[in-house]
Structure 1
């Protein structure tokens, strides 16, 4: 009766949370307004590539049969942050949204035969070319180049009388930077950058020079976030060493099979993810070594996740010994008769708790943005545009759920229980350690995500201790699957609507498969032989 009452309360809270989450999702947020309007349709990747190729062919007379094309999503992170922090997004969109968009497609057209690379930046909505650059080096200078630059600026619709030419260094005689006398947004000054070579405009870019105080503050916040991320890596390594020692000491009473399949799933997903991010690594490199650099980064990333997989496996088996007799209740064995039913129940509660966590997250950011000057900047690092196959991105949800629930809940909680003799302290410490690994996201101030994820970690700690490891993994995977699926829908609703729905219901499919396979296992299991009396 008590369990039914508890289940009913969770359902009621989940229903209220769903209403809260949906309401928060549609509320306008002045402090965190999207720089790229969500209601504006974007051009397709194929359209962007065709626009860039046509431009390069006309501007530089390039043989398009000899080139390689790479498209990535880019954004001006610092300018985005400056606008968000100072509540200037609406004003910026009105003044410069069409001519200097924050988010844009960057098409890289490479000619490996002559080691030339052309970067063409295209407005994602209008398809207008906003800037371009050629990597060829300057070979001559000429006084007439300034006139060429000024004529070109006038052709772009700017009044040259509103700009002044900044001094050039000896090494940048072909680079011209014009700064507006009064144009800009608040304290950010508008600049036009041009490169003139052989009487032609080889590059053009318009951007804003932000105040040094803001840049320094943002860089300081990013540095603090990076330090916390490195601390998280250090804790993972320390956990791995401790787990290895525990596994050796308790080797006679632990199962070395525990978690091996989940570890393999984790490694496979992150291997796929790192290969999927190849375009990002490729775009960051010079043309002459871009392929080598990208492959090298992918290989190093896979190696890092291989090491993390070993840590994941060690913590999985070591925790089995730390929990002693409680391990079967928290993480039941596949041979247990109730395993299939437990999987279905864990999935059901997983969906309920996922809705609650999403509502808590929405309320947290609403309060943060309204009362504590919390804001976010755009960042292309994990944009689905920058994946070889965007549709595979939500798989990360499962890898994150498996690894983090094993390391921080399944292993971390009993470890700190042994040290501090308190479950509450153990849950709190593991939640904080888990949180510092999530501070590298472009949300400011840097401590914001630490507080948010610590709160969510406390909820996951409750789920784990009250409903078991499997429920915590399902809830974690469902939360991340919903968030990643929303990114796919923003990318292309028509193309990814069915796939996004699939990822959201995938936990239910997984639980049902677990139930059916275990049900077949039980039927084929030989009945116990009664001993004669």
Structure 2
């Protein structure tokens, strides 16, 4: 049972989370996506209306319609880094948003493509691009054409026509000046005379009657910095996470076989299978997000190919999770620790229910600790955030399924990074000390070695998150290494199930806040469900254990 002190600390952690993470972002949420965001179907209908009104393309003449949420992650990161988000919201967001619904329409019987970008809240048409067969044959995306713009000079008549057409499109001609550049297909590049976003500049790419798109041109110092960060993140991911995890996979198989006498090969079957099924289902739910990652113009075949590749990756991760469960359970039991109860154990249902309650208390402590760590890192390192449309709520077919991802992370990471990895390093360190001393280390020495064993396990786990849109890339490395130490301590103090529930509750809370603030009315109930889901799972397992107390073999799989 938890003492009253734990509840007090948990309450303080929850308040820190609210005041350091939730409330400071409430104005940003409200102004940049938290109120009245269009549903994907509404964006689709809005785009069809614009296509019929402006280009005479009726809905029944359209053979393909693809809606994708796109985010200019570079610009979002720059605004965050330079603390310019409020200035952007006030001046630029209404007509030149960094986040849009991009709707691609293809008329039936034609190789033409019409791409419309809609403001995610107002539904206003903010850019469009009508691609003919001749231009499509060039094989260039909009971004590639914009990058090549400087290689093609713009003629005087082209520029005059573009400026006049900008005025007809509802913009003030006086606010734009020609850059002297054009794209390969003859679109003129104009630049805003305003300078309210630091060193960033806003440009329009204009071809009368065919194209009006915009982009933010960021300073070279920032783009070079971000390119360097991406290179560092790639190396850290490979050498700090991928290669160590491959090694741990091999070791998990070896230790699962070596310590099978202390455990059972039925351990973890249910959890690893649940991980794979939930992750696979969630990946298909995020099909539009994969398209955003690959490029909105990507065909269905390429998207499906990547989905299938991901399924093989998840299958490998599920196998690692399974062997980590068997090997980790055997390791800890051989060292005298019983961290993971079995279904057939007396009081298993009550243990799960108690662990669920402990998980909520521990999760609030973890959220408070995370909030403090992030605030300190922001002050010391100047940490900032970008965006990632591939994981966007707006690219999910069913956003309310997002909380299931918390179970994927909780199951895999607690079995791999806590149960097995900490047990493995502890076995090595304590065993090494025993060989050196030729006796068992003292209780204090063993505790110290256990703490040390948590460091490499937590670091490997943290290296797996450096690819997230948080910069500098070592921000998450520091944050999650420290958080990993807390998770490890909680596992030893309360057991695996408590820390698994704590992980799920932490993720579910963050996801619930995200769902309640994403502006999609359909997500409100999903946000509430996200908060209560871990408790519901605990109650269901408790009920099943009471209902089927004698199903030992089946129950072992559940455990």
> How does the TM-score come out when normalised to structure 2?
0.85
Q: Alpha-carbon deviation of 1:225? A: 2.0
| Corresponding position of 2:529 | 502
Quick one: distance in 2 between partners of 1:441 and 1:214? Answer: 18
What's the Cα RMSD here? 2.7
Quick one: distance in 2 between partners of 1:234 and 1:471? Answer: 29
CA contact (8 A) 2:202 2:217 kept: yes
Aligned ranges 1:144-155 → 2 under 5 Å: 145-155=158-168
Q: Deviations for 1:475-518, whole angstroms, at most 9, x for unmatched residues?
A: 00011111112222123464233332222212212212222222
Pick closer, same or farther for the CA change 1:44–1:247 going to 2, 3 Å.
closer
CA contact (8 A) 1:263 1:309 kept: yes
Q: 328-337 vs 316-325, which deviates more?
A: 316-325
Aligned ranges 1:507-522 → 2 under 5 Å: 507-522=534-549
Q: Deviations for 1:172-227, whole angstroms, at most 9, x for unmatched residues?
A: 15121123456452211221112x3xxx5222112221111100101211222232
Among residues 347, 361, 375, which one is paired with 2:384 in the alignment?
375
Q: Alpha-carbon deviation of 1:397? A: 0.3
CA contact (8 A) 1:115 1:287 kept: no
Pick closer, same or farther for the CA change 1:97–1:396 going to 2, 3 Å.
same
Pick closer, same or farther for the CA change 1:182–1:517 going to 2, 3 Å.
closer
Q: Alpha-carbon deviation of 1:25? A: 4.0
CA contact (8 A) 1:281 1:293 kept: no
Q: Alpha-carbon deviation of 1:119? A: 1.7
Pick closer, same or farther for the CA change 1:8–1:82 going to 2, 3 Å.
same
| Corresponding position of 2:299 | 290
Q: Structure 2: which 5+ residue stretches go unaligned?
A: 139-153, 431-448, 553-559
| Corresponding position of 1:461 | 488
| Corresponding position of 2:408 | 399
Indicate the structure whose relative CO is greater, using CA pairs within 8 Å and at least 6 residues apart. 2
Q: Alpha-carbon deviation of 1:452? A: 1.0
Please say if 1:311 is aligned against 2:320. yes
Quick one: distance in 2 between partners of 1:503 and 1:185? Answer: 37
Q: Alpha-carbon deviation of 1:142? A: 9.6
Among residues 157, 164, 168, which one is paired with 2:178 in the alignment?
164
Please say if 1:278 is aligned against 2:287. yes
| Corresponding position of 2:113 | 117
Give secondary structure in 1 for the equivalent of 2:24. coil
CA contact (8 A) 2:29 2:518 kept: no
| Corresponding position of 2:241 | 232
Q: How many residues align?
A: 514
Quick one: distance in 2 between partners of 1:487 and 1:203? Answer: 35
Q: Alpha-carbon deviation of 1:59? A: 3.1
Q: Alpha-carbon deviation of 1:264? A: 0.5
Q: 102-111 vs 58-67, which deviates more?
A: 58-67
Please say if 1:191 is aligned against 2:187. no
Among residues 372, 376, 383, which one is paired with 1:363 in the alignment?
372
| Corresponding position of 1:415 | 424
Pick closer, same or farther for the CA change 1:388–1:27 going to 2, 3 Å.
closer
Please say if 1:201 is aligned against 2:209. yes
Please say if 1:49 is aligned against 2:44. yes
Give secondary structure in 2 for the equivalent of 1:330. coil
Among residues 442, 456, 476, which one is paired with 2:469 in the alignment?
442
Quick one: distance in 2 between partners of 1:424 and 1:213? Answer: 41
CA contact (8 A) 1:349 1:471 kept: yes
| Corresponding position of 1:452 | 479
Quick one: distance in 2 between partners of 1:9 and 1:286? Answer: 51
Pick closer, same or farther for the CA change 1:488–1:34 going to 2, 3 Å.
closer
| Corresponding position of 1:488 | 515
Q: 352-361 vs 284-293, which deviates more?
A: 284-293
Q: 134-143 vs 366-375, which deviates more?
A: 134-143
Among residues 74, 79, 84, which one is paired with 2:80 in the alignment?
84
Quick one: distance in 1 between partners of 2:407 and 2:157? Answer: 60
Q: Alpha-carbon deviation of 1:345? A: 1.3
Q: Deviations for 1:30-86, whole angstroms, at most 9, x for unmatched residues?
A: 9x9559435543233333222211222233332422332222222211111111111
Q: Deviations for 1:344-375, whole angstroms, at most 9, x for unmatched residues?
A: 11111100001111111222223333454221
CA contact (8 A) 2:292 2:389 kept: no
Give secondary structure in 1 for the equivalent of 2:459. helix
Quick one: distance in 2 between partners of 1:94 and 1:448? Answer: 29
Quick one: distance in 1 between partners of 2:327 and 2:529? Answer: 35
CA contact (8 A) 2:359 2:505 kept: yes
Quick one: distance in 1 between partners of 2:202 and 2:551? Answer: 74
| Corresponding position of 2:226 | 218
Pick closer, same or farther for the CA change 1:288–1:108 going to 2, 3 Å.
closer
Give secondary structure in 1 for the equivalent of 2:128. strand
Pick closer, same or farther for the CA change 1:289–1:217 going to 2, 3 Å.
closer
Please say if 1:352 is aligned against 2:357. no
CA contact (8 A) 1:116 1:287 kept: no
Among residues 459, 472, 479, which one is paired with 2:506 in the alignment?
479
| Corresponding position of 1:528 | none
Please say if 1:74 is aligned against 2:70. yes
Pick closer, same or farther for the CA change 1:324–1:162 going to 2, 3 Å.
closer
Q: Alpha-carbon deviation of 1:417? A: 1.0
Quick one: distance in 1 between partners of 2:18 and 2:297? Answer: 49
Pick closer, same or farther for the CA change 1:505–1:39 going to 2, 3 Å.
closer
